[in-house]
Chain A
């Protein structure tokens, strides 16, 4: 069935450290993946995306890694800041349709 899951429901990091948020997906036919950040009371905010023909993509302070062999996606945040505190969702394009399937999310807590 549809399944995009996360390994850790809550991740606590100290300000300035790097954060790694992991996600497992189940559909090997998915060809597009996105990470979203959601703050309380707001809609999901796009962070970074990656297509299946790539294994790494970098943005500003964020890097997404895709391992298609084990169907694993990760989001790395460098020098984590208090403003990074939020719930992070990975999403996959399901079976080459035009809808995104979301996982259950990981809460990132940043401590001073």
Chain B
């Protein structure tokens, strides 16, 4: 257990529905990342936050996707009007950035989304 928790672990939804996922990072970590992973592929970067500020969004993140980290602690990822192509594992990771150095990411176990 890395200390990063994600909820729910699994989500099955019908096409067109909205879904929301939650991530609770390691408490002292100031950076939080969202990645998406499909079967047989490596995780793809979606977006990340430093404290409550969203610093970067991937071009993979369409307008149907939105992420928030309102108090600089937990984060939510919402997908509106889900499509079958959204089916994937959504991974959250956190890290502590200090002193201008890169720090390793600690990943949660992910939320597996299936869009029917």
Could you list which residues of chain A lie within 8 angstroms of chain B, going by C-beta atoms?
4, 31-32, 34, 36, 41-46, 49, 51, 89, 91, 93, 97-105
Q: How far is the CB of B83 from chain A (nearest CB, A)?
A: 23
Out of B2, B48, B104, B109, name the residue touching A99 (CB < 8 Å): B48
Instruction: Name 18 A/B residue pairs within 8 A (Cβ), A-sorted.
Output: A31-B102, A42-B110, A43-B4, A43-B107, A43-B108, A44-B43, A45-B107, A46-B104, A49-B104, A91-B42, A98-B48, A98-B55, A98-B102, A99-B33, A99-B48, A102-B35, A105-B40, A105-B41
- Complex Cα distance A15/B41, Å? 26
Q: Does B31 lie at the interface of the complex (its beta carbon under 8 Å from any beta carbon of A)?
A: yes
Taking a contact as CB atoms under 8 Å apart, the answer to whether B40 and A100 are in contact is no
Q: Give B45's nearest chain A residue, CB to CB.
A: A99
Q: Give A97's nearest chain B residue, CB to CB.
A: B56
Q: Does B97 lie at the interface of the complex (its beta carbon under 8 Å from any beta carbon of A)?
A: yes
**A-B residue pairs, 8 tightest by C-beta:** A102-B42, A43-B107, A32-B102, A99-B45, A44-B107, A43-B109, A102-B43, A89-B42
Q: In which size bucket is the chain B interface? A: 20 to 34
Could you list which residues of chain B lie within 8 angstroms of chain A, going by C-beta atoms?
2, 4, 31, 33, 35, 40-45, 48, 50, 55-56, 91, 93, 97, 102, 104-110
- Complex Cα distance A102/B35, Å? 10
Taking a contact as CB atoms under 8 Å apart, the answer to whether B109 and A42 are in contact is yes
Q: Give B50's nearest chain A residue, CB to CB.
A: A98
The prevalent SS among residues of A at the interface is strand
> How many residue-residue contacts, CB under 8 A, span A and B?
57
Taking a contact as CB atoms under 8 Å apart, the answer to whether A34 and B104 are in contact is yes
Q: How far is the CB of A44 from chain B (nearest CB, A)?
A: 5
Q: How far is the CB of A45 from chain B (nearest CB, A)?
A: 7
Taking a contact as CB atoms under 8 Å apart, the answer to whether A43 and B42 are in contact is no
Q: How far is the CB of B113 from chain A (nearest CB, A)?
A: 14
- Complex Cα distance A102/B107, Å? 13
- Complex Cα distance A46/B94, Å? 12
A43-B110, A44-B43, A91-B42 are known contacts. Are A100 and B105 too (CB-CB below 8 A)? Answer: yes
A32-B102, A43-B107, A43-B110 are known contacts. Are A98 and B42 too (CB-CB below 8 A)? Answer: no
